[in-house]
């Protein structure tokens, strides 16, 4: 399913309860009451659909990219919060008396405590949930603990929200819409069960073990895993995996890392990892033979379906080289003859990873490698500063390069500058693939 169809499907599901409510043709109430109900219906549908945007479903991440999935998750959560916050306030103050003609009291907002309390609980919790996600760093929680808490709290919000809709909802009392709510809640529960139970169960059949761990550049390590099962990981160059080292397959201790090896090179899977915090700061203490699990492959940073691109430009910042070198290695291993240019930015020379491999790619594959250092040594003859629009124009400014594919991975600031500059050069956005290493 293409990305557009996926977005259309999401919109359809999100608006389904509203459409079903409208189709009931009940006597309309005041515009504000109807708006309040409509916002409540859409907010609840969005909250339930958030569970499909957990970033763990390959069919979704492979099409639009995991960072787009995560950004959508955050934006939709904020929109759902605004809708849900407005929902109770838009109802005109509860009217004790129904109009004389309304013998069934269908135009009166439901005010019984039995119907309202789940809504109030969901409303309060939702605010806390989004606030805690925005200020995650301030909570001081480890990422893994925060993630579990976030998922469980979201499930409680969803459950209370559905209960409130079923008890208080004027339209949700209709059996078909009630079943839709229960169906969406089931999908949400199933999504969590898949991530925390079914996927780990499937992983049990595919254990890996550490076969190499070595220092590669300043605070940067290479970690290699070998399958301990008959077979290989079915990934494509440039994709990433959730890596769990030394814990049970069900552990929450897993982090996303791009695979820097090429599938054509065999079954071993290699990662390039920068020391940063809780897990990455312990790489030097990992022992060979340690059990590891991979939830993979994920990500859209691949050359799949890009056969028509006449050349490949790769632009990496720091450890963003990981998926980029995986792609270059695969192009070389498969004898791809299209021209390749790599722009690789770092702060200082000690941060350059895979220097020998890059030389070999220049020699054997004809890849043009351009290093850019913002703090170069005195004898540096290469590019200095940052990856600038001017450098990009020099390297990719000819009209025929508009048909190249541009693969970007690095810090968010760099990606923004590079994407804007490429678009200013006339490169169509569909020819630009980018991924940032932020997932929150
Ligand atoms: C798609 C993707 C690919 C990545 N590829 C690479 C790579 O090839 N090489 C590399 O060095 N880094 C990569 N990263 C970044 C890497 O995942 C984090 O640096 C790493 O998870 C930090 O873990 P930590 O426990 O050492 O740090 P912590 O101090 O625990 O966390 C620091 C920050 O890292 C992020 N983080 C921590 N744990 C997780 C987690 N389980 N899931 C998501 N984010 C988390 C959070 O933003 C957190 O604030 C990638 C990230 C993403 C999203």
Residue nearest to atom 41 of ligand 1 (CA): 255
Encoding tokens for residue 359? 């030389």
Residues in Cβ contact with 100 at an 8 Å cutoff, skipping those fewer than 6 apart? none
Which pLDDT band, with edges at 50, 70 and 90, does 192 fall under? very high
Whether 14 shows a pLDDT value over 80: the answer reads yes
Tell me what percent of the chain is helix, strand and coil, each rounded to the nearest 5: 50, 15, 30
Among the ranges given (87-96, 193-202, 308-317, 414-423), the one the predictor scored with the smallest mean pLDDT? 87-96
Return the pLDDT at 293. Answer: 98
pLDDT reading at 389 higher than 50: yes
**Using a 6 Å CB cutoff, which residues line ligand 1?**
66, 143, 240, 254-258, 271-274, 276-281, 319, 322, 435, 437, 439-440
For ligand 1, atom 10, the nearest C-alpha belongs to 273
- Structural tokens at position 376: 């170069």
Rounded distance, CA 42 to CA 86, Å?
Answer: 12
Q: What pLDDT does residue 139 have?
A: 85
- Burial zone of 225 (CB within 10 Å; 0-12 exposed, 13-18 middle, 19+ buried): buried
Give percent of the chain with pLDDT exceeding 90.
Answer: 78
- Measured N-to-C along each axis, helices 355-365 and 321-333 cross at an angle, to the nearest 10 degrees, of 30
Residue ranges and CATH numbers for the domains of the chain are: 3-95+105-202 (1.20.120), 208-298 (2.40.30.10), 312-435 (3.40.50.80)
User: What are the tokens at 363?
Assistant: 């020699």
Q: What is the mean pLDDT of residues 377-383?
A: 95
In this prediction, residues 44-51 reach a mean pLDDT of: 96
Mutate to test the pocket of ligand 1, among 144, 256, 327 (most ligand atoms within 8 A of CB): 256
The number of the ligand 1 atom at minimal distance from the alpha carbon of 258 is 8
Q: For ligand 1, atom 3, which residue shows the shortest CA distance?
A: 257
Q: Which strands sit side by side in the sheet containing 291-298, from one edge to the other?
A: 255-258, 240-245, 291-298, 208-217, 220-227, 269-274
Average pLDDT of the chain, as a whole number: 92
Mutate to test the pocket of ligand 1, among 216, 252, 257 (most ligand atoms within 8 A of CB): 257
Q: Which of 61, 142, 148, 439 to mutate to test the pocket of ligand 1 (most atoms within 8 A of CB)?
A: 439
Confidence of residue 97 (pLDDT cuts 50, 70, 90): low
Q: Which two tokens stand for residue 262?
A: 């090429």
Q: Distance, CA 224 to ligand 1 centroid (Å)? A: 18
Mean pLDDT confidence for 371-387: 96
**Res 63 pLDDT > 90:** no
Q: What is the pLDDT of residue 99?
A: 56
Average pLDDT over residues 48-67: 84
Sorted by sequence, the CB contacts under 8 Å of residue 275 that are 6+ apart come out as 219, 220, 221, 281, 283
**Residue 161: pLDDT over 80:** yes
The total number of residues written for the chain in this structure? 440
Query: What letter would DSSP give residue 259?
Result: B
Q: Is the pLDDT of residue 225 over 80?
A: yes
**223 or 440, higher pLDDT:** 223
3-state DSSP assignment of residue 440: coil
As a whole number of angstroms, the distance between CA 213 and CA 219 comes to: 13
For the segment 351-362, what is each residue's pLDDT rounded down to a tens digit? 999 999 999 999
| pLDDT band of 30, cuts 50, 70, 90 | confident
**The pLDDT value given to residue 277:** 86
How far, in Å, is the centroid of ligand 1 from the Cα of 367?
Answer: 29
Tens of pLDDT, residue by residue over 126-155, are 999 999 898 988 888 888 889 889 999 999
Stated as kind and residue range, the H or E segment containing 5 is helix 3-23
pLDDT for 96: 47
Among 260, 409, 258, smallest CA distance to 320 is for 409
Per-residue model confidence (pLDDT) at position 281: 94
Tell me the sheet residues that pair with 257: 241
pLDDT tops 60 at residue 103: no
Which residue's CA is the nearest one to ligand 1's atom 50?
Answer: 437
pLDDT tens for each residue of 256-285? 999 999 999 999 999 999 999 889 999 999
Distance of CA 99 to the CA centre of its chain: 50
For the beta carbon of residue 384, count every other beta carbon within 10 angstroms: 12
CA-nearest residue, atom 28 of ligand 1: 277
């Amino acid at each position: 399913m293409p990305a557009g169809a996926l977005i259309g499907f999401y919109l359809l599901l999100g608006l389904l309860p509203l459409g079903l409510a409208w189709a009931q043709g009940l006597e309309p109430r005041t515009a504000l009451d109807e708006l309040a109900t409509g916002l409540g219906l859409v907010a609840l549908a969005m909250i339930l659909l958030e569970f499909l945007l957990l970033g763990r479903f390959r069919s979704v991440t492979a099409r639009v990219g995991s960072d787009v999935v995560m950004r959508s998750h955050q934006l939709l959560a904020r929109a759902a919060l605004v809708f849900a916050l407005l929902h109770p306030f838009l109802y005109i103050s509860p009217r004790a008396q129904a109009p004389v003609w309304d013998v069934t009291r269908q135009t009166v907002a439901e005010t019984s405590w039995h119907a309202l309390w789940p809504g109030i609980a969901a409303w309060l919790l939702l605010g806390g949930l989004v606030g805690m996600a925005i200020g995650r760093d301030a909570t001081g929680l480890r990422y893994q603990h925060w993630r579990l808490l976030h998922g469980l709290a979201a499930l409680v919000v969803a459950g209370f929200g559905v209960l409130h809709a079923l008890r208080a909802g004027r339209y949700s009392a209709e059996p078909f819409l009630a079943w839709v709510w229960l169906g969406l809640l089931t999908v949400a529960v199933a999504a969590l069960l898949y991530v925390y139970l079914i996927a780990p169960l499937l992983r049990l059949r595919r254990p890996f073990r550490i076969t190499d761990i070595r220092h590669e550049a300043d605070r940067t390590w290479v970690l290699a895993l070998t399958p301990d099962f008959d077979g290989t990981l079915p990934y494509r160059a440039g994709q990433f995996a959730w890596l769990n080292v030394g814990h049970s397959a069900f552990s929450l201790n897993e982090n996303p890392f791009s695979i820097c090896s090429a599938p054509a090179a065999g079954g071993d899977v290699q990662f390039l990892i920068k020391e940063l915090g809780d897990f990455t700061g312990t790489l030097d203490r990992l022992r060979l033979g340690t059990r590891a699990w991979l939830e993979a492959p994920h990500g859209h940073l691949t050359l799949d379906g890009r056969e028509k691109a006449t050349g490949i430009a790769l632009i990496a910042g720091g450890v963003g080289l990981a998926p980029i070198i995986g792609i270059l290695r695969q192009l070389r291993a498969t004898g791809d003859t299209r021209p390749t240019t790599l722009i690789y930015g770092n702060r200082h020379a000690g941060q350059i990873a895979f220097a020998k491999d890059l030389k070999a790619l220049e020699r054997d594959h004809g890849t043009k490698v351009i290093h850019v250092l913002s703090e170069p040594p005195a004898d540096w003859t290469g590019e200095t500063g940052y990856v600038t629009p001017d450098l990009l124009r020099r390297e990719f400014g000819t009209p025929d390069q508009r048909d190249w594919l541009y693969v970007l991975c690095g810090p968010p600031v760099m990606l923004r500058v590079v994407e804007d500059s490429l678009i200013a050069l006339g490169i169509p956005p569909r020819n630009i693939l980018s991924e940032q290493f932020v997932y929150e």
